[in-house]
């Protein structure tokens, strides 16, 4: 049985944009272990188009001596996009709706895929928000940083109400909270 687990770095004020500008002072062994566990527990990575573009521009040319480079490049990846049909980054498959407005077909494809594939998302806030609204996310991992960023894209803006239940919470020495949520009906 597969699943979709989504992990996001988020500030106290809900900002998820540009974590590279505020997240690293809080990254420690505890957070590394949580992120590593989320990645190692999956068979493939599921990402949106913007995250794909950022990752595909970086990882294929990244330092080959960094063990994460091999992990990211070698991992099986699925990118949800209405425009990307032939991804160049190795081991990447595009999930496309037959028509740009056919989100129901993407939900069907992801439901089918998660029947036997353990998927994790990294970043991809727009995709995660949409999957939450569709009831496709089995676990939402929020790494809440003790900082108010004050500007930037937030994970939750206007959208559907999605009831969740807290499954676990861990406080890291850095003050980061690792909160894990599942659907309220799970």
* Residue scoring higher pLDDT (146 or 101): 146
DSSP letters spanning 153-166? -BS--S-----EEE
Q: Is the dihedral of CA 88, 94, 100, 103 positive or negative?
A: negative
For residue 113, the model assigns a pLDDT of 94
Report the percent of the chain where pLDDT is more than 90: 68
| Cα distance between residue 182 and residue 136, in whole Å | 10
Rounded Cα–Cα distance for residues 147 and 15 (Å): 10
Q: What percent of the chain has pLDDT over 70?
A: 96
pLDDT of 101 > 70? The answer is no
117 or 96: whose pLDDT is higher? 117
Residue 159 pLDDT: 77
Question: What residues does 164 pair with on adjacent strands?
Answer: 183
CA separation for the pair 174, 70 (Å, rounded): 28
167 and 29 Cβ atoms separated by less than 8 Å: no
Going from the C-alpha of 153 to that of each of 19, 20, 178, the distances in angstroms are 11, 14, 20
> Domain residue spans in the chain?
3-183
Q: pLDDT tens for residues 150-180?
A: 999 999 887 788 999 999 999 999 999 999 9
Cα–chain center distance at 15: 14
Instruction: Fold for 3-183, please state it.
Output: Dihydrofolate Reductase, subunit A (3.40.430)
Handedness of CA 149, 20, 135, 105 (dihedral sign): positive
8 Å CB contact between 90 and 73: yes
Residue pair 175/31 in contact by the 8 Å Cβ criterion: no
Packing angle of the helix pair 125-134, 103-113 (nearest 10 deg): 80
Radius of gyration of the chain (CA): 16
pTM of the model: 0.90
Would you state the pLDDT for residue 103?
65
Burial (CB < 10 A; 0-12, 13-18, 19+), residue 42, is buried
What pLDDT, in 10s, does the model give residues 40-97?
A: 889 999 999 999 999 999 999 999 998 888 888 999 999 999 888 889 999 999 998 6
Tokens encoding 166: 């807290």
């Amino acid at each position: 049985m597969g699943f979709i687990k989504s992990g996001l770095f988020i500030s106290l004020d809900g900002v998820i944009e540009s974590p590279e500008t505020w997240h690293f002072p809080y990254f420690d062994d505890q957070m590394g272990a949580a992120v590593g566990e989320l990645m190692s527990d999956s068979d493939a990575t599921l990402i949106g188009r913007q995250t794909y573009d950022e990752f595909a521009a970086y990882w294929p040319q990244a330092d080959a001596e960094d063990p994460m480079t091999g992990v990211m490049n070698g991992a099986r990846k699925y990118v949800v996009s209405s425009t990307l049909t032939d991804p160049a980054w190795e081991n990447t498959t595009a999930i496309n709706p037959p028509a740009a407005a056919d989100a129901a077909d993407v939900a069907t494809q992801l439901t089918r895929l998660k029947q036997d594939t353990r998927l994790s998302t990294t970043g991809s806030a727009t995709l995660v928000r949409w999957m939450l609204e569709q009831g496709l996310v089995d676990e939402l991992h929020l790494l809440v940083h003790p900082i108010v960023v004050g500007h930037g894209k937030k994970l939750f803006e206007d959208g559907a109400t999605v009831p969740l239940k807290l499954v676990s919470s861990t406080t890291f020495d850095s003050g980061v909270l690792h909160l894990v949520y599942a659907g309220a009906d799970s």
